[in-house]
Amino acid sequence: MTSAERMLSKSRVGKLWKEQPTGIREKACQEVEKIQWCLLNGEATNHFLSTSLIPTLALYKAMQAEGYSAAEAYRKVKAAVHSAMNPTGKEWSFLFSIPLVNSYLWKAIPRILEKKFPTTGWNIQWNIQTERSLNFEMTACFYSDFFHIFQCPELTSIFCECNSICYSAIPGIRFSRNETLATSGNRCDFHLERI
């Protein structure tokens, strides 16, 4: 198995990639080989590149090159990414359902986000952080930058929607937002309220 095949098979779109005809699978591997130069040794962003961004972009382009319309390729990769995120949402739901863990995780969200989304690719500003509300915004997004560089900015919104999948799964929390960089906003805003 080549490194491109390994990356695709282990990614958020791995299941969809495996279901595709040989021509699309091979084309996706070629796309990965063209794009994987952006992996940097030891960079925190490599996880996002190898599990989400590069495979999704490669499969999306390969499907179109092999005859899928842009809309159909988008629909399929969106469904695959969202399906891959459902276990994360369920995990968060389970963890937040445990009272002691809920209290700890609520307080730890800022530290978790700062570790998971490093300043190398994201700019997070905290607006409100209380026992009842967490409001923050991102004014720079690695996902958005990546997909714009590769001229597929439409793919960014797929990953923005993953925020809803995860945050909306948390019991006793209401997640909302007004805008995202993917929808031509000036920021991605995140509002989490205990209900």
pLDDT of residue 113: 82
pLDDT of residue 42: 57
Q: Are 163 and 175 in contact (CB under 8 A)?
A: yes
Band (pLDDT 50/70/90 cuts) for residue 111 is confident
Q: Once rounded to an integer, what is the mean pLDDT over residues 36-47? A: 72
Pairing of strands 123-129, 173-176: unpaired
Band (pLDDT 50/70/90 cuts) for residue 41 is low
> How far is Cα 141 from Cα 124, in angstroms, rounded to an integer?
9
The answer for residues whose C-beta is within 8 angstroms of residue 85's C-beta and 6 or more apart is 12, 162, 165, 166
Band (pLDDT 50/70/90 cuts) for residue 58 is very high
Q: Work out the number of other CB atoms within 10 angstroms of the CB of residue 185.
A: 15
Pairing of strands 173-176, 188-194: antiparallel
Band (pLDDT 50/70/90 cuts) for residue 40 is low
Q: What is the pTM of this model?
A: 0.86
Q: Are 169 and 92 in contact (CB under 8 A)?
A: yes
The DSSP line for 41-64 is TT-TTHHHIIIIIHHHHHHHHHHH
At position 176, the amino acid (one-letter code) is S
In this structure, what token pair is assigned to residue 100?
């002691």
Whether the per-residue pLDDT at 45 is higher than 90: the answer is no
Residue that wins the pLDDT comparison between 111 and 157: 157
Q: What is the pLDDT of residues 137-182, one digit of tens each?
A: 999 998 999 999 999 999 999 999 998 888 888 888 899 999 999 9
Least confident segment among 62-71, 79-88, 101-110, 171-180 = 101-110
Whether the per-residue pLDDT at 31 is higher than 60: the answer is yes
Q: Are 35 and 104 in contact (CB under 8 A)?
A: no
CA-closest candidate to residue 189, choices 3, 6, 181, 47: 181
pLDDT of residue 190: 94
At position 93, the amino acid (one-letter code) is S
> How far is Cα 119 from Cα 125, in angstroms, rounded to an integer?
11
> How far is Cα 43 from Cα 112, in angstroms, rounded to an integer?
17
